[in-house]
Structure 1
């Protein structure tokens, strides 16, 4: 009978080191911070890997010390946008109230919830030809506060309330206000550049798409689950392309502008952060105004 071959000889394994705190416990684990061997009982989950109890305690003391120094510097705790944390949503409430008030006035003028022929709406709605050639530049912003019908105002104000509250708390009043109105400017500029010069449009949806663009940048920066954002984009895209009379260009312009403003705010260098944020947003505003002026010059030359 054949004998089975001898099993291969393996070199003896080196003995595992003992835990730094329990030398009688061999372990193959180690602290991610100091590198000392540690048994499972001596390791704690930390922001970066698993650390021993000594390093976790030292890290906590260092964090508290840095927090005290930060508080004593007068800057206080800041959000990812560099704003002071707040539960106030006064800007969102004010924007919502102004939009609703203007709609109620136009509904009273038209004596109907279908207020499309109200004089305030007609005077404030976006009309590219009149805005650029006629010099009625106020329509760039007033068009963001006029709505046509109860469904239009209700849908936009619901979106403003849902998105605006969280963004205002993260961005603070000043940055959030800048985000909203620069997004509105971007939406209007897109209409001025590419839409039919005689098309009438209005509504807060351009600025609201800017808030959505900002959310997209936050999701990327913080590596959040994008499911909610994708669902919202899909729903709004369906509404945009399926309901007649909605300005697709305003939505796209607002979305892109809001994302650019968010990048300027969230990715500003930590040193002199506010100054760099102001510079970044100002560059966007100047570029949008320049495009509008150029478009106005072109249209004026064609008319003359």
Structure 2
């Protein structure tokens, strides 16, 4: 590595060469050095080593700003920093803590008033118009084990999907999958069933993972294995909402197909249209179901 440029020579005080230009950032410093990019004078403190010579800090910053960040096959700017995933986990944990505090019990937090107001309960949606339950129920959990399992799955899937899909697309995918799970329960579930949990959205992320793997022409075996195992558990374990899981899985996979196979020209417009269309279809299905129940 080349040594950092030094000027003036050792022993000669700064400003002792009035015939030399001064550094724009430090007018009290005369310098014989220049930026190889803009050719402006610059003192050693204001120069940074480049591939050829030295550049001033202004040119370095300008160059960094003009560099285009890489985009993924979905059209999102790739970033390893997770934002949406930890926020979603925090919201789920916060609501669990609130319901546990209201109920005075961690194991039976479903006794809380807030839980009763937000959980998925078909008669409350159909007769009382409490549509928010289709979504809010996806942020509630029955006990700490239910919460822990879903949050671990959310983190594992979000860690892989959020950097690739970007924050906006990942948020849309999670939200629409969650809504899909709630609508599936509303359409086909029993009238007295009480359903809660982020499983519908998590299964939507599983479906997204499978579609993304197929789009990239990778081996789908591991993704299919994970989905198959979870579907089998949904059938065999008691107290699990199979409809919510399947609804989230199907909706998440279909929406992801709309995102990853969108035509490159005006891709963002096509993807936004896919999200709006998915929400519109789910809303229409819920309204039709309401008309059948009321």
Coarse TM-score class (shorter-chain normalised): 0.7 to 0.9
- Report if the CA contact (8 A) 2:138-2:178 is conserved: yes
- How much has 1:74 moved relative to structure 2? 8.0
Q: Distance in 2 between matches of 1:75 and 1:138?
A: 40
How far 1:145 sits from its partner (Å)? 0.4
**Matched length:** 230
Work out the CA distance in 2 between the residues paired with 1:93 and 1:272.
30
Q: Does residue 133 of structure 2 align to residue 106 of structure 1? A: no
Q: TM-score, normalised by structure 1?
A: 0.73
What do residues 52-72 of structure 1 show as CA deviations (whole Å, max 9, x unaligned)? xxxxxxxxxxxxxxxxxxx99
Aligned equivalent of 1:215: 209
Who is 1:118 aligned against? 112
Write out aligned runs for 1:50-199 (5 A): 76-114=69-107, 115-199=109-193
Quote the RMSD (CA, aligned, Å): 1.7
Taking the aligned partners of 1:204 and 1:134, their CA distance within structure 2 comes to 24
- 1:204 maps onto 2:198 in alignment: yes
Secondary structure of the structure 2 residue equivalent to 1:245: coil
CA deviations on 1:22-70 (whole Å, 9 max, x unpaired) are xxxxxxxxxxxxxxxxxxxxxxxxxxxxxxxxxxxxxxxxxxxxxxxxx
Looking at structure 2, the residues matched to 149 and 107 of structure 1 have their Cα atoms a distance apart, in angstroms, of 9
**Any idea what SS the aligned residue of 1:133 has?**
helix
Change (3 A) 1:274 1:73: farther
Structure 1: unaligned runs, 5 residues or longer:
1-70
Q: Which residue of 1 aligns with 2:244?
A: 250
Q: Distance in 1 between matches of 2:68 and 2:184?
A: 38
Q: CA deviation at 1:190?
A: 0.5
Per the alignment, residue 14 of structure 1 pairs with none
Residue segments in structure 2 that go unaligned for 5+ positions in a row? 1-63
Paired with 1:284 and 1:188, the residues of 2 have a C-alpha distance of: 14
Whole-Å Cα distance in 2 between the matches of residues 175 and 74 of structure 1?
23
* TM-score relative to the length of structure 2: 0.75
